[in-house]
A and B are shown apart, each in its own frame.
Chain A
Amino acid sequence: MADYSLISTPPLAGTDLRFGTCRITAPADLALVSLALPLGGEDAAQKAIAKAFGTALPDIGQSAAASDGSTTLLRLGIDQGFVMFTHATPDAERVVAAKLGGAAYTTDQTDVWCALDVTGPDCRRALERICPIDLHPDAFTIGSLARTTMEHLGVIVIRTDTDSFRLLSASSSAQSFLHAVETSFANVM
């Protein structure tokens, strides 16, 4: 058998744009695995999650960092959450599934999404141009997340710090997504 090897080329890899004091970067090797809580098995799943990550699956619309800080849990719905962590190899789902021992259903979402981290004092002003969600710090505290649409694209927006947000959107439309975010910064800076 010939020796073939596959090369990873994520759609936004290497993105690093600066607008004044603001910056847009694509986090490298970001892995996402979805969790689904089995009907009737929610408590057991919650316990397994808390045990595996050292933190409970947060309330809907919130994120929580694992005890060792390496992983973030996102709660997207009654029975749905995401595990977000840095992991280069294409086995993220197996890693998470192994920790949960079958207490929750897991699906690899790593390649379904692409991510952009936006930081800087003016990033809320830029996101105003595309994000219908109220990102005022009183309304959207650190750790808050929301599913919304930006320029027709489905987006999960997470506040990672006072002036930092992580945006997740579909990987197939990554170029349109980057263009939308980039244009917003260019328009206000």
Chain B
Amino acid sequence: MSQINRIDGGQIDRSKLLSFTFNGREMHGHPGDTLASALLANGQILVGRSFKYHRPRGILTAGSEEPNALVQLRSGARQEPNTRATVTELFDGLTATSQNHRGPLEFDLMAVTDFASPFLSAGFYYKTFMWPRAFWEKLYEPAIRSSAGLGRLSMQDDPDHYDKGFLHCDLLVIGAGPSGLAAALTAARSGARVILADEDFTPGGRLNSETLSVDNMAGADWARMAVAELASLPNVRLMTRTTVYGAYDHGTYGALERCTDHLADSGGKPRQVLWRIYSKRAVLAAGATERPIAFGNNDRPGVMMASAVRTYVNRFGVAPGKQVAVFTNNDDGWRTAADLAARGVSVVAIIDSRDKPAVCDVPGARHIRGAAVKDTVGRKALKSVTLTDGQVIPTDCLAVSGGWNPNVHLTCHQRGRPNWRDDLQAFVPGDSLPVGMQVAGAANGAMTLGAALAEGHAQAARQLDALGLTAKGSAPQAEDEPRDCAGFWHVKESAKRAWVDLQNDVTVKDIKQANREGFRSVELLKRYTTMGMATDQGKTSNIAGLAILAEDAGKPIPEVGTTIFRPPYTPIPIGALAGRARGKDFRPYRLTPSHKWASENGATFVEVGNWLRAQWYARPGEQGWRDSVDREALQTRQSVGICDVTTLGKIDIQGRDAAEFLNRVYSNAFLKLPVGKVRYGLMLREDGIAYDDGTTARMSENHYVMTTTTANAVLVFRRLEFARQCLWPGLDVHLISTTDGWAQFAVAGPNARNLLRKVVDEAHDLSNEGFPFMACGEVTVCGGMPARLFRISFSGELAYEVAVPARYGNSMMDVLMEAGREFDAVPYGTEALGVMRIEKGHAAGNELNGQTTALNLGLGGMVSQKKDCIGQTLSKRPEMNRDDAIRLVGFRPVDRSKKLIAGSHFITKGDEAIMDNDQGWMSSVAYSPSLGHSIGLGFIKRGHERMGEIVRAMSPVHDTEMEVEIVSAHFIDPEGDRLRG
């Protein structure tokens, strides 16, 4: 197909021809075209089907407000639905297909829906699909979704890359139209750091679409000069193809830069970048959007916005019609007629709703005063329009202008409400703007070119003043064109459906019906009719919709108000919001120092917070994880096992008042902990609930090393910093994390000492007398390597933890295994660790779950009453000290072959299994290879007094019930002989 509608002029590069396809048909355009302008140039008037009624639709606008011309762009995994043809930059090889039809675009089978329209009015779904309720999810919703809706997802992973970034500036100018360029020039010349962002690929805004002059030169030429100057300045960042989509707190803005969307291939670079812009000040120069007038069958392909028609002619060298009619309620519509006539496009009539003389002379056009279009003819392309007085005017393109709405959206993102201006018949930015923002140009109601330029300069000067800079230069000069506008929203004489929201197929009748049915608030109207809820967010429809509501309700428009504008201003792909955070890069991961060794030795890893920890080490011949875990636990208890426990939080605490500090943050006493000793400590929350536990070692007089649980390492550190800085700033205490600094290994089992004796340098006494249970100290290993040794045990065995600088950690694991070979030393993972701590009755995360107290945990004696500590006062609350409080105890199945289930609840034998009789719950279970059966830890009322009692453990979730016996939580070595041995 040739470019039958291409005319002379425009800002396209005719020296290059670009090929593209639409629904498989090859077409051509030029660099500088949008997909929409190229489609029009190729005579493609029908571009899609409507959302609900599958009505044929054409291109309405030339900007990001487009409701109709949504296409699926590209193919395969890169297929992107709902792309606006009006802002899609044409490139060679572009492929686009139309959306929302079954069968070809021209013969959509679903168009039958349109004949059912009398039954499909506003609220239809809510009224019709209420019954039977069960049908909604399985039948109604899928049926509706397949017939309505817009484009389709590819259902494949998006192969493109996305990125994010951070920018900083003194002044952010949003929009590079006349006022934005004027503001940016003033600020840039004054030395401020300026970011100028515009959604278009060619900055200039309406200057590229108009024939107006600035500083005695063509507006588009002036814009090019201004952009060239800005681009040459080092203090300016010019961002084209960038939409500032949201205004957030403290001058922070969100922006989406489309980096490679205009290229056939992204070349492996991010397709889009989501920017966070920190601005000291901002000038919003977002321009204005022309609004349609609602009349019968106003959605025919060929009915377009008047300003868009002028854009296609002036900027793109495309005549959207051969015999154009203009329907306007304002002076600006006349400019379309004048520009078209000047370019040799035939204008057959100017229909002005106002009864006033011609605004300008348009050769060859009839001026029809005080009239309106009430209907149109032509199913897939406009053929004629019928006026209110009955006359029929043949035309293939009707240019409609209902006035202009300032783009106030970003002024409302922090709940600002716009004000109504009668002279413009439009809302303008209100009094409460986001911090640091000023608005300039058409966005602020300065609707003429001269005024917009002057205001751009003035607002920039104002912002510079606030930044302590002096504005340089003067405002560019231009004439003020006529801009009178009448409040004329829809043609009452229209008997046919008059469309307000073209993207969601909402008609004037729907709005009136909503009002009649009681949905009188504009917010309710929106949700009931879905007006303004589509991807265009009602940019062309909202004001007309609420004007019609106001009229129907007999209220003035400002009283009806607007719905709330929220980010984003235009759609943001989910991929851009995700950025790089996908797959394994969703979040950072942390590796233990012996990770390499573990990977080479058959470890299966488990995520613990951000850490990857060895869960178990499978050996050849093992049938499943249980085989490995049983072996690791047994062998550790029989000889010796080694586990990387680096992930436990380590906090270095120093200061003259460190002991006093610890005494206040731990519930148990720490003042008298001797140098060279470790103590187990329990922390409470302010409300008295158990918070975290761990050990703290006194390395020297004023130096302690605290360990925390892996999960709470960061939380505890933060809490201690808060306590140090805010609660007790008078204490000399200093904290720093050393979690990553030391590779720490638990060496546990009867042969632990024998193994370590081979690694720790001989000068250090490891005998039970020289280094008893709960001893700690600085030692050297492997011939002088500084290390720390702690004699602590989580497994209940004779055990040590030995720490070396982390960079030696992988090597240390090798050494420990090599030294342990004669003892058949085994590496063990978190599962065996868990088995052994349950066997020993140690509480862990399942028990310290934010609901349990020291008393519940059987650690009531650890809340010292001889001193104060965080949480002590509230731990005395009577409810937390009831006689029948739950207690941590052990459980074993009466039938030893049964497997306990964590989460089971306990019911006293003979009681009915109802919530009122709930006695507690099972918190941790494991198979104990040492005992040969399943064991559990759990909380049960008065547990410590009920040893030997048999209760029922019930799990309604698993639908299980079994008898269990209450036993001591210390299944192994209850006297602790092993760990002291």
Q: Do A and B come from one complex?
A: yes
Of the candidates B166, B193, B782, the one whose C-beta lies within 8 Å of that of A4 is B782
Q: Taking the nearest CB of chain A, how far is it from the CB of B300, in angstroms?
A: 45
With A10-B807, A176-B589 as given contacts, are A38 and B655 in contact (CB-CB < 8 Å)? yes
With A9-B811, A107-B652 as given contacts, are A183 and B762 in contact (CB-CB < 8 Å)? no
Question: What are the interface flags for A149-189 relative to B under an 8 Å C-beta threshold, 1 for contact and 0 otherwise?
Answer: 00111000000000000000011111111011001100100
Q: Which residues of B contact A174 (CB under 8 A)?
A: 591
Which of B166, B276, B655 has most A Cβ within 10 Å? B166
Q: In the complex, are the beta carbons of B734 and A105 less than 8 A apart?
A: yes
Question: What are the interface flags for B144-186 relative to A under an 8 Å C-beta threshold, 1 for contact and 0 otherwise?
Answer: 0000000000000000010111111000000000000000000
A139 is an interface residue with CB less than 8 A from chain B: yes
26 contacts between A and B (CB under 8 A): A2-B818, A4-B781, A4-B818, A7-B808, A10-B807, A38-B734, A107-B652, A112-B737, A112-B739, A112-B740, A128-B165, A128-B167, A129-B166, A129-B273, A130-B166, A133-B166, A152-B588, A171-B741, A172-B590, A172-B806, A173-B588, A173-B591, A175-B591, A180-B588, A183-B163, A184-B163
With A8-B807, A173-B588 as given contacts, are A112 and B815 in contact (CB-CB < 8 Å)? no
B810 is an interface residue with CB less than 8 A from chain A: yes
Q: In the complex, are the beta carbons of B166 and A131 less than 8 A apart?
A: yes
With A10-B807, A90-B808, A112-B740 as given contacts, are A5 and B732 in contact (CB-CB < 8 Å)? no
In whole angstroms, how far apart are the Cα atoms of A15 and B730 in the complex? Answer: 45
With A1-B758, A136-B168, A172-B739 as given contacts, are A40 and B732 in contact (CB-CB < 8 Å)? yes
Q: In the complex, are the beta carbons of B591 and A111 less than 8 A apart?
A: no
Q: In the complex, are the beta carbons of B734 and A80 less than 8 A apart?
A: yes
B359 is an interface residue with CB less than 8 A from chain A: no
Q: In the complex, are the beta carbons of B161 and A187 less than 8 A apart?
A: yes
Q: In the complex, are the beta carbons of B168 and A139 less than 8 A apart?
A: yes
**9 new A-B contacts at CB < 8 Å, known A128-B167, A129-B165, A176-B585:** A4-B758, A4-B781, A38-B734, A108-B741, A111-B741, A132-B276, A136-B193, A172-B646, A180-B588
Q: Taking the nearest CB of chain A, how far is it from the CB of B704, in angstroms?
A: 12
Residue of B nearest to A105 (CB): B654
Q: In the complex, are the beta carbons of A128 and B655 less than 8 A apart?
A: no
A134 is an interface residue with CB less than 8 A from chain B: yes
Q: Which residues of B contact A16 (CB under 8 A)?
A: none
Q: In the complex, are the beta carbons of B163 and A187 less than 8 A apart?
A: yes
Q: Which residues of B contact A172 (CB under 8 A)?
A: 590-592, 611, 646, 739-740, 806
Q: In the complex, are the beta carbons of B655 and A39 less than 8 A apart?
A: yes
Q: Which residues of A contact B974 (CB under 8 A)?
A: none
A6 is an interface residue with CB less than 8 A from chain B: yes
| Closest 5 A/B residue pairs (Cβ) | A36-B734, A176-B588, A111-B806, A39-B732, A134-B168
B738 is an interface residue with CB less than 8 A from chain A: yes
Q: In the complex, are the beta carbons of A36 and B736 less than 8 A apart?
A: yes
Q: Which residues of A contact B656 (CB under 8 A)?
A: 38-39
A79 is an interface residue with CB less than 8 A from chain B: yes
Q: Taking the nearest CB of chain B, how far is it from the CB of A178, in angstroms?
A: 11
With A9-B810, A183-B580 as given contacts, are A91 and B786 in contact (CB-CB < 8 Å)? yes
A34 is an interface residue with CB less than 8 A from chain B: yes
In whole angstroms, how far apart are the Cα atoms of A106 and B758 in the complex? Answer: 31
Q: In the complex, are the beta carbons of B592 and A3 less than 8 A apart?
A: no
B858 is an interface residue with CB less than 8 A from chain A: no
Q: Which residues of B contact A72 (CB under 8 A)?
A: none
With A109-B741, A187-B269 as given contacts, are A171 and B732 in contact (CB-CB < 8 Å)? no
B759 is an interface residue with CB less than 8 A from chain A: yes
Q: Which residues of A contact B732 (CB under 8 A)?
A: 38-40
**Chain A, 109-142, CB within 8 A of any chain B CB:** 109-113, 128-134, 136, 139
Of the candidates B585, B737, B741, the one whose C-beta lies within 8 Å of that of A110 is B741
Q: In the complex, are the beta carbons of B163 and A111 less than 8 A apart?
A: no
Q: Which residues of B contact A6 (CB under 8 A)?
A: 781-782, 785, 804, 808, 811-812, 815
In whole angstroms, how far apart are the Cα atoms of A4 and B819 in the complex? Answer: 9
Q: Taking the nearest CB of chain B, how far is it from the CB of A56, in angstroms?
A: 20
Q: In the complex, are the beta carbons of A1 and B588 less than 8 A apart?
A: no
How many residues of chain A have a CB within 8 Å of chain B? Answer: 53
Q: Taking the nearest CB of chain A, how far is it from the CB of B756, in angstroms?
A: 11
Q: Taking the nearest CB of chain B, how far is it from the CB of A141, in angstroms?
A: 15
Residue of B nearest to A102 (CB): B702
Q: Which residues of A contact B703 (CB under 8 A)?
A: 105
With A111-B741, A152-B587 as given contacts, are A128 and B269 in contact (CB-CB < 8 Å)? no
With A5-B782, A129-B163, A187-B161 as given contacts, are A34 and B819 in contact (CB-CB < 8 Å)? no
Q: Which residues of A contact B596 (CB under 8 A)?
A: 9
In whole angstroms, how far apart are the Cα atoms of A1 and B703 in the complex? Answer: 32
Q: In the complex, are the beta carbons of B166 and A132 less than 8 A apart?
A: yes
Which of B163, B165, B580, B596 has most A Cβ within 10 Å? B165
Q: Which residues of A contact B364 (CB under 8 A)?
A: none
With A38-B732, A172-B592 as given contacts, are A107 and B815 in contact (CB-CB < 8 Å)? no
B554 is an interface residue with CB less than 8 A from chain A: no
Q: Which residues of A contact B276 (CB under 8 A)?
A: 132
With A38-B655, A173-B588 as given contacts, are A3 and B783 in contact (CB-CB < 8 Å)? yes
Question: What are the interface flags for B677-716 relative to A under an 8 Å C-beta threshold, 1 for contact and 0 otherwise?
Answer: 0000000000000000000000000110000000000000
**Chain B, 796-825, CB within 8 A of any chain A CB:** 804-808, 810-812, 815, 818-819
B723 is an interface residue with CB less than 8 A from chain A: no
Question: What are the interface flags for B33-66 relative to A under an 8 Å C-beta threshold, 1 for contact and 0 otherwise?
Answer: 0000000000000000000000000000000000
Q: Which residues of B contact A34 (CB under 8 A)?
A: 736
Q: Which residues of A contact B167 (CB under 8 A)?
A: 128
Q: Which residues of B contact A79 (CB under 8 A)?
A: 734
Q: Taking the nearest CB of chain A, how far is it from the CB of B765, in angstroms?
A: 14
Of the candidates A4, A105, A151, A171, the one whose C-beta lies within 8 Å of that of B806 is A171
Of the candidates A8, A36, A112, A136, the one whose C-beta lies within 8 Å of that of B738 is A112
Q: In the complex, are the beta carbons of A112 and B782 less than 8 A apart?
A: no
Q: Which residues of B contact A128 (CB under 8 A)?
A: 165-167
Of the candidates B168, B588, B739, B804, the one whose C-beta lies within 8 Å of that of A151 is B588
In whole angstroms, how far apart are the Cα atoms of A5 and B741 in the complex? Answer: 19
Question: What are the interface flags for A25-62 relative to B under an 8 Å C-beta threshold, 1 for contact and 0 otherwise?
Answer: 00000000010101110000000000000000000000
Residue of A nearest to B757 (CB): A1
B742 is an interface residue with CB less than 8 A from chain A: yes
Which of B273, B734, B742 has most A Cβ within 10 Å? B734
B487 is an interface residue with CB less than 8 A from chain A: no
Q: In the complex, are the beta carbons of A2 and B819 less than 8 A apart?
A: yes
Which of A90, A152, A175 has most B Cβ within 10 Å? A90
Q: Which residues of A contact B558 (CB under 8 A)?
A: none
Q: Which residues of B contact A108 (CB under 8 A)?
A: 738, 741, 805
B675 is an interface residue with CB less than 8 A from chain A: no
Q: Taking the nearest CB of chain B, how far is it from the CB of A59, in angstroms?
A: 19
